[in-house]
Structure 1
Amino acid sequence: MIEITADMHAIIKQAILSFVATVNEDGTPNLSPKASLTVTNGILYFADIASPQTILNLGRNPAIEINVVDIFQRRGYRFKGRALVLPPGDDEYLMIANRVRATNGPEYPVDHIVKIETTSIIPLLSPAQIFARPPRSQDEIRDTYHQKYGVKPIGS
């Protein structure tokens, strides 16, 4: 398994929303948004709160890709690997499910927890970071996109 770095962990936490791709039975992609992606002990997990197709797909084919992009920093990561669906009662299931319920409330169903064995991690960078000349600092990029989206950082 490939190490999840502190920067990757920070991007996951800041981005909040990630997108999980699995393979449908007919070979077409299934893309599902997740707000429960988390890193614990260097391992990626997410909760199955309302993802029956994702779980069905992973039961047939454990191939998975997760994209996480911080829209203000205009960067993120593509995590590829194999997924393991953890059933209720499993120790890792309980650890992550309890965190999800503590964050979202006890009424949130957590049918399964998905654990990802990462086999490839690729940085995702926007053209704002690749092609801008002269190069722009991360602060300049973030300020530009805060302005573009009409938001202010917390504490401003």
Structure 2
Amino acid sequence: MLTDQVKNMINRSVLCWLATSHDNQPNVSPKEIFTYHDDRLIIANIASPQSVNNIQQNNAVCVSFIDILSQKGYKVTGTAQIIMPNDNAFTPLHSVFSPMVQDKFTILSMIDITPTAIYPILAPSYTYYPDTSEIAMIEQAKAAYFKHDN
């Protein structure tokens, strides 16, 4: 289900946002350390006690990620499980995260998401102005976000 296009977008995204819910109270939390493994999305838990608690009560999740320059990305819905350090899957996945975290963070556990559906995310300009190109969106984003005050 994770196509090459989705995997490429995961690699281009600097954050993803994980939505969880418990007792009908939604929680959305940015995640800095994430990747894919096989056909699953894996998020390192470095500071996510509320997300982990919610998943233990309700494993339905939604994750979104975008390339901030092209303003394109994906929304992934699915089911999550928590991988603890004593689980067999933890060590092999931890080695995937090692280059990302270096010695900055301790990975407390991992959130392993099996996608059930994937939807594209596009900035409204692509829909309302069909002639909008990705190059134009990138240039606009650079102009807006990378201004230098002198």
When normalised by structure 1's length, the TM-score is 0.87
Q: Does 1:77 align with 2:78?
A: no
**1:122 corresponds to:** 119
**1:8 corresponds to:** 6
**2:146 corresponds to:** 150
Secondary structure of the corresponding residue to residue 50 of structure 1: coil
Is the 1:84–1:116 Cα contact (8 Å) retained in structure 2?
Answer: yes
Residue type of the alignment partner of 1:7: Q
Distance 1:141 1:107 in 2: 33
Q: Matched residue pairs, number?
A: 147
Q: 1:31 to 1:138 in 2, by over 3 A?
A: same
Question: Once superposed, which parts of structure 1, at least 4 consecutive aligned residues long, lie more than 4 Å away?
Answer: none
Q: Does 1:20 align with 2:14?
A: no
| 1:26-105 correspondence runs (5 A) | 26-105=23-102
Distance 2:65 2:77 in 1: 12
Question: Where does structure 2 lack aligned partners over 5 or more consecutive residues?
Answer: none
Deviation for aligned residue 1:119: 0.6
**1:154 corresponds to:** none
Residue type of the alignment partner of 1:15: S
- Of 70-79 and 100-109, deviating more is 100-109
Distance 1:146 1:110 in 2: 33
Q: Percent identity?
A: 26
Is the 1:101–1:108 Cα contact (8 Å) retained in structure 2?
Answer: no
Match of 1:109 among 106, 111, 120: 106
Secondary structure of the corresponding residue to residue 110 of structure 2: strand
Residue type of the alignment partner of 1:19: W
**1:139 corresponds to:** 135
Deviation for aligned residue 1:86: 0.9
